[in-house]
Structures are given as structure tokens and as C-alpha cells.
């Protein structure tokens, strides 16, 4: 063989150019959910920091939410939708397993024939997507990528399950990434531990449901075990991501952890020794836990409420069913 395969031109760095967000249309207060789980507004506020969560109308899908979030991100970025050549949608709640959400979204936003695929890394899905888009743009496999975290978790909630039902919300957050002259996404700390797959995930398979052996499959978790894993193991991952990026806590403008539980967020902040100058995302109070959508939604809100954060460094960390996790430092658009 005397042919050398031609390679795409590489690019040294990428950055997030813009973000977009779409939440479920309805704010659902704790009082609407406490009946079937024998709980109270006070218990949920104290144990989770959630006051209301956003849930979508019956006819609204994760695809609709993704399109709205992506359209906003692209419009803000200033690129033309036809320049997008990669669309990654992180989701665990698409009720139709094929075709993918991403191919439909790519077409709806005017990005056909962009490469498009869905990725399942639960609450770490958005950070997995950022890691992938960054790597693919740098190697020349893509130039402009849209990374979306999108969930309609209300479709896979059992209102009588007190382990998780009251935590979950619906929404989609999107980021446009492209080439950059300076580093805008640090190396990712990402990984998995499938030996603990039983801690959080769906309680039944579709086959069990088909065969009449189970109810409609829904999410469940061993809350306290997931809580301990998040607080102890994930704080270490977040610290490692900072070290890998060469960033000290005081260099950060923002900290955007997965919006799983307000107490986990508080514990992270303590263990990382974040100074008061670092803005901490607390979108969970009114959006709830939206799995793959939670980090881009929370980042979008922080930027809306504090536009001065633009250009600053944000540490983001996602973790959840798998178990899987991913963390990186990004320059805020």
C-alpha cells in the first residue's frame, strides 16, 4: 500500500459560542405532587431545595423542546444553521427508540445533512456531549456542533414513587460549539461504574411491559446511596477536572453542577472551597432535576441573570444513571 490516507485539517481549540433553553410550559409546585407520596412542601424544600419544577404539556415532546433550545442557541451564535455539521442530543426519555431525536432536530433547525446521533449518559449526557463535540471539532470531523440535553421525564415518572418522582422536570438546553483561537473547553474527567447500575435507572424493560409482567417502566433510585456517591466521589472528580484544567477555585466565575439536589450542590461548594465570588447555579429551585438538560438550562439562566459572567470560567459536572459522570471547565459564551 503506497497511498497515505488524507486527513481533515485539525483545529487546536474550541469554545461554546452561545446557549439556548426551553423549559416545560407548566410550573408544578410541590403541593401538587405530595398526595400520592405522603410528603409535604416543607420536606421537599428542606431535603432537595425544590419549590416548583417545570413540566411540559402532554403534546409537547423532548424533540419540540430541543428544537426551541437549539434555535435560540444558533440565532445567538450568529452562525448560519447550514454551517452546523454535527448535532448531538443527550437524552434518556425519548419514548420512540428510533429514529433518533438528533436527526429530526438537525433537520428542523436547518442543519441537514449534519451528522446526528443521540447519546445516553443520563445526567452526565450534556457534559459527555461537550467532550465529544470538542474532540470532534478539534480533529476536523466537524466544524460547528450543537450539543443538546433534552428530557421529558414526566413521561417516565410514577407519581406514587417517593424515591424520585418529586425531583423530576422537563426541558432542553443547547450549546453551539465551534473553532476558537484560545482554549474554551478543558480536558474532560469522564467515566463510569456499571457495577452500581442498580442504584438509579428504569425499574422495568419494555419487554416486561409488553408481556404484562410490569407497569409502564419509570425511573427509580436508591436515593441515599446515590446521594453519598454524588457527594463523596463526584467532589473528587470535580477537583480533578479543575487540576486538569490548571484552574484554581478562585479562578472560576461560575460553578454549574448537575441540578440533582440543593444539598448536594451545597456540599460540593464546601468541599471545593469555592469563594463567595463564584456564582453557583441553583436552577433546581424552580426547574427541578431535568437530567441531561439540567446543566445547560442552569448555565443559560446564570448567564441571563448575570451577563457579566460572559467570558469567565465555569466548572460543570454531570453524574447519574450508569453510573456515569463527566466534568470539565468551559469558557462561558
**Identified catalytic residue from 94, 123, 127, 261:** 123
Q: 172 near 150, Cβ under 8 Å?
A: yes
* 153/330 with CB nearer ligand COA: 153
Residue of the chain from 16, 18, 21, 37 that contacts ligand COA (CB under 6 A): 37
The nearest distance, CB 219 to ligand COA, in angstroms, is 8
The nearest distance, CB 79 to ligand COA, in angstroms, is 33
127 classed as catalytic: no
* 83/266 with CB nearer ligand COA: 266
Stretch that binds ligand COA, among 95-103, 140-148, 223-231, 302-310 (CB under 6 A): 223-231
The nearest distance, CB 222 to ligand COA, in angstroms, is 8
Site string for ligand COA, 235-274 (x = CB under 6 A): -------------------------xx--x----------
**Identified catalytic residue from 30, 94, 127, 258:** 258
Please work out, in degrees rounded to the nearest 5, the angle formed at the alpha carbon of residue 158 by the alpha carbons of 91 and 209: 80
Stretch that binds ligand COA, among 5-13, 162-170, 176-184, 245-253 (CB under 6 A): 162-170
**165-184 residues near ligand COA, rule: CB under 6 A:** 166
CA distance 251 to 100: 39
300 classed as catalytic: no
Peptide bond into 113 cis (omega under 30): yes
* 123/327 with CB nearer ligand COA: 123
Judged by CB under 6 A, does residue 289 bind ligand COA?
yes
Residue of the chain from 43, 191, 237, 244 that contacts ligand COA (CB under 6 A): 43
123 classed as catalytic: yes
Q: Which residues here bind ligand COA, judged by CB under 6 A? A: 37, 39, 43, 47-48, 123, 162-163, 166, 200, 221, 223-224, 226-227, 230, 260-261, 264, 289, 320
- Catalytic positions, written as ranges: 123, 258, 289
Amino acid at each position: 500500500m503506497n497511498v497515505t490516507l488524507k486527513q481533515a485539517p485539525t483545529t487546536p481549540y474550541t469554545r461554546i459560542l452561545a446557549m439556548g433553553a426551553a423549559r416545560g410550559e407548566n410550573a408544578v409546585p410541590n403541593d401538587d405532587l405530595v398526595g400520592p407520596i405522603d410528603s409535604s412542601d416543607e420536606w421537599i424544600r428542606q431535603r432537595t431545595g425544590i419549590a416548583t419544577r417545570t413540566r411540559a404539556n402532554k403534546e409537547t415532546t423532548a424533540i419540540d423542546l430541543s428544537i426551541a433550545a437549539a434555535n435560540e442557541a444558533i440565532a445567538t451564535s450568529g452562525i448560519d444553521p447550514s454551517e452546523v455539521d454535527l448535532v448531538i442530543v443527550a437524552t434518556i426519555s425519548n419514548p420512540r427508540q428510533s429514529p433518533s431525536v438528533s436527526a429530526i432536530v438537525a433537520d428542523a433547525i436547518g442543519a441537514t445533512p449534519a451528522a446526528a446521533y443521540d447519546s445516553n449518559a443520563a445526567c452526565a449526557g450534556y457534559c459527555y456531549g461537550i467532550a465529544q463535540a470538542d474532540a470532534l471539532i478539534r480533529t476536523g470531523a466537524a466544524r460547528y456542533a450543537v450539543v443538546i440535553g433534552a428530557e421529558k421525564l414526566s413521561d417516565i415518572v410514577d407519581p406514587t414513587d417517593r424515591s424520585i418522582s418529586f425531583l423530576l422536570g422537563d426541558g432542553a438546553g443547547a450549546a453551539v460549539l465551534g473553532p476558537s483561537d484560545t482554549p474554551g473547553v478543558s480536558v474532560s474527567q469522564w467515566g463510569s461504574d456499571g457495577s452500581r447500575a442498580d442504584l438509579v435507572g428504569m425499574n422495568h424493560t419494555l419487554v416486561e411491559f409488553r408481556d404484562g409482567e410490569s407497569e409502564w417502566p419509570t425511573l427509580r433510585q436508591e436515593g441515599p446511596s446515590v446521594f453519598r456517591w454524588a457527594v463523596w466521589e463526584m467532589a473528587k472528580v470535580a477537583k480533578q477536572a479543575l487540576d486538569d484544567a490548571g484552574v484554581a477555585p478562585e479562578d472560576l466565575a461560575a460553578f454549574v453542577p448537575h441540578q440533582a439536589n440543593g444539598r448536594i450542590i451545597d456540599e460540593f461548594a464546601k468541599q471545593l472551597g469555592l469563594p463567595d465570588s463564584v456564582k453557583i447555579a441553583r436552577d433546581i429551585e424552580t426547574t427541578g432535576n431535568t437530567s441531561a438538560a439540567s446543566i445547560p438550562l442552569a448555565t443559560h439562566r446564570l448567564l441571563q441573570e448575570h451577563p457579566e459572567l460572559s467570558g469567565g470560567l465555569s466548572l460543570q459536572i454531570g453524574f447519574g444513571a450508569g453510573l456515569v459522570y463527566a466534568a470539565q471547565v468551559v469558557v462561558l459564551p
